[in-house]
Chain A
Amino acid sequence: MLKNLLARLGLTPPEHPLFAANHLYFRGLDQNRPLADYDFVVFDTELTGLNRRRDEIVSIGAVRISNLQIRVGDSFYAHVKPARSLPKDSTLIHRITPQQLKEAPALARVLPGFISYCGHSLLVGHYVGLDTAFLNRACRQYYGSPLFNPCLDTMILAQSYTEMQWSQYHDRFRMDISYNLAALGKQYGLPEFTHHNAYEDALQTAYLFLYLVKKMHTMGITTLKDLYNAGRGWRRLF
């Protein structure tokens, strides 16, 4: 019982072979290598709503970054049939038709593909905590363990980057800056995205990630550890 609980919290090695390997790999991850050495999977999910207990994933989109370049061909996109029938006014998922969802596989069948797609890559998302919460809930439910891939949040990176740019102390607390994906894209002059689904959003996040990482590189952020510390430094303030 205790063992199970610890496993569910990700504190002991999980029993499922897929997750055991995942756990083993990331436990020994060297954080001091240059960022270009790591692979990243930038992903996004579409949800039926924001309730972490009741709502469900309806699509997952992801794209890989290797050598700090986006590999358009090495990407992942799947629709997911929710277990519960959709509420009639499911406005949040306006990007997918109900018919598409009806024909989609259940999450239990999508998940293994996505987990092996993620493999040894680090996960990146915009406000990634929300996506991983839904993902790990499912992982725990089906495999008794969360994912061990380290996660990076582009929203936090953007906040850190903004902070690094500003030398004046008082600017640090400027509140008039929006950190949503589209606003950041605009602020940094990234290419515009007109299509929206989990896949396109993941790609847009990947652009943002690439921009931030390469911009921060010129400010001395060169290893994975640097990147974590940069994010953490910001979080400590709040």
Chain B
Amino acid sequence: MAPKNDAQKIAPETVLDFLRETMPFNELEDDALRELARHAVIDFIPKGSVILRQGETEVEHLYLIQKGGVKIYLTNDEGEVSLKDFRGEGQYFGALPIIQNARANLNVETVEDTFCFLFSKAAFRHLLDTSPKVSHYFLRSLSEKLVNTAYAELRRHRIAPRTESTLFLFSTQVGSCIKGKPQTIAADQSVRRAASRMAELRIGSLLVTDPGGAIIGIVTDKDLRTKVVAAGLDYQTPVTKIMASPVQTIPAHAVCFDAMLRMMRRRIHHLAVEKQGEIIGMITTHDIMLLQGTSPLYLFREIVAQRTLEGLHPLARKVPSVVRTLIEEGAKANNITRMITILNDHILERLLTLLMEDLGPPPLPFCWLLMGSEGRSEQTFKTDQDNALIYAWPENEEKREAAARYFKMLSERAIENLVACGYPLCPGEMMASNPKWRLPAPEWKKQFDSWIRTPEPKDVMHSTIFFDFRGGYGDLSLANDLRDHLVKSIPGQELFLYHLARNAMEARPPLSFFRNFIVEKDGQHRNALDLKTKGLVPFVDFARIFALKHGIRESNTLGRLQLLHEGGHISPEMYNETVKAYEFLMQLRLFHQLFKMEAGEQPDNYINPAQLSELEKQTLKESFEVVRRLQNHIKQEFRLTER
């Protein structure tokens, strides 16, 4: 008897070690891993060889790159080549054709001498069938559009519904929260009748209907308290006198988070739920709070209830703890930044209201402008103040002096108090306390015009901050007018757009080929990646340039992208990948900042790629790849030549 050949049962440690460190194989149990390693075939493909040919090669293996690198590209009917991707160590190719059971969808060519582990079609399919984690990884990492059918099919067979939707706010539709039909009261009824009916039904609001049965308004218990009892109104007054109209509605398919945002924004407690043009019920802040233990609504209520400036100061510092709850519950970065923005907006509103109670009413209508990330509603934890002030044109010298005095006082005290709330000063002094940025409306327009017509480098820099403005408090029509002016002025200003485009090319994505990230080389952030300037800013720049070019009023980056997409200014593919990459980078930054703050450090934008998971690293690389594509798009659109 020959001794048993043990090698049939063992797999080389070298292969195992590699798989153990590679997504998603590291998710496998040791037995499965060894089984996989035993089925591996190792191939060497010299530099410059085409491994897969688009539309031709029957793909028999999944290729996992052990060493070396490949480029992936498409060839169209005219023979033009467009580069799609680089893949390096630990990355794979060939998965999609195997999942789709189709020929190679792309060309793959080695750009270095490359060693690959090959796993047979059958072994890979077996892996997808037996390991939900692995199949989830592959399906998730392949573009959703491409694998749509295969994905749906596999998911049906293999993957149990994900349990991430434990979060009420983001998973529950408003429609499922309502407790039956809305209660109504006819328009000619008295407020006394309304009060007794509410008491009877133990509810806090009634919808008011006209004789035709159409809903024309809403009365709430708060209206009864403030507009009737406190104001000493006759109880026989018809409800139409005190009702709020029109009724604020929300579609039944919206999630509770949206309902909460809308209520917070409008400072109301009731929303009518609408389905196919019909009001099917009501949702209240109470409904949401009941279901959501630690709710941002509590903080929100604390903010709006504050009667003193001193009381307001500590509240802004509570924002992170609220956000933490949202993150734990799986909220997306976009929702979180919107929430932070709303909370900050309310703090600002409360602050300025209290200041004006102190200073007396303003001599002229004014509007507090928010700029930069605040203007884009994209605030995170670390947000320097970027604000300005616009006021109506003073008709005479007396008014001019009064305005100058009053708004100087108001803005200086506002900035002081904002600092006390924990919003750091803007190092560039782009704040309303700076007289340069506290102007009457016509002078703002003149200022904007001069930046657009004769763009000096500094003007371009200013425009990237100022042109993202929105009205934060006060007479919003002043801000809207200014936006109108801007939207009318920019399209066609090729020189300005050209400079803006050049400016957007400054941030090079930190992608050195595909193996390593370029990190900051010196200083305190050595080995760290500046997620903001290298990652997020290019997206913001991209959205700004094209929004300004196409006369879009929106200032939020995702909002701009959506409008650009809807207007046909960017392709659906570009829109999808851009949104995905941007959201990922925002999420990454938010997590990083929260982590820092909980460790008692100052939140910043520097992450160390070495500390990221394999999946995060890959997604990060893919996101930077998107940055590269966006910049190429800008380059082509504005005919920039490579410097």
Give the interface of A toward B (CB within 8 A): 61-63, 68-78, 105, 109-110, 112-113, 116-117, 188-191, 193-195, 199-200, 203-204, 206-207, 210-211, 214-215, 218
Contact = CB atoms under 8 A, between A and B. Distances in A.
Nearest to A215: B46
Nearest to A77: B7
Contacts of B113: 188-189, 211, 215
A73 B39 contact: yes
B225 to A, nearest CB: 76
Interface in B39-87: 39-46, 66-67
B118 A69 contact: yes
25 contacts: A69-B43, A72-B12, A72-B39, A72-B41, A72-B42, A76-B7, A109-B2, A113-B2, A113-B3, A116-B2, A188-B113, A190-B67, A191-B18, A191-B67, A194-B17, A195-B12, A200-B13, A200-B14, A203-B14, A207-B42, A207-B44, A207-B115, A211-B113, A215-B46, A215-B113
Given A72-B12, A72-B15, A72-B38, A117 B5 contact: yes
Contacts of B118: 69
Nearest to B3: A105
B12 A199 contact: yes
Given A78-B3, A194-B14, 4 more contacts: A78-B5, A109-B2, A110-B2, A191-B18
A171 B216 CA distance: 95
B11 interface: yes
A72 B115 contact: no
Contacts of A63: 12
Contacts of B39: 72-73
A214 B44 contact: yes
B37 interface: yes
B378 to A, nearest CB: 43
A55 B120 CA distance: 42
Contacts of B10: 75, 77, 199
B399 to A, nearest CB: 77
Which applies to chain B's interface (DSSP): helix, strand, loop or mixed? Answer: mixed
A191 B3 contact: no
Contacts of A215: 46, 113
B47 to A, nearest CB: 10
- B: interface residue count bin: 20 to 34
B641 interface: no
B279 to A, nearest CB: 66
A210 B12 contact: no
B8 interface: yes
Nearest to B4: A113
Closest CB pairs A-B (n = 7): A77-B7, A70-B42, A113-B2, A73-B38, A75-B7, A195-B13, A210-B44
B6 interface: yes
A116 B3 CA distance: 12
A214 to B, nearest CB: 5
Nearest to B1: A109
A210 B7 contact: no
Interface string B110-149: 0001010010000000000000000000000000000000
Nearest to B46: A214
Contacts of A110: 2-3
Contacts of A69: 41-43, 118
A206 to B, nearest CB: 8
A72 B5 contact: no
Nearest to A109: B3
Interface string B1-37: 1111111101111110110000000000000000001
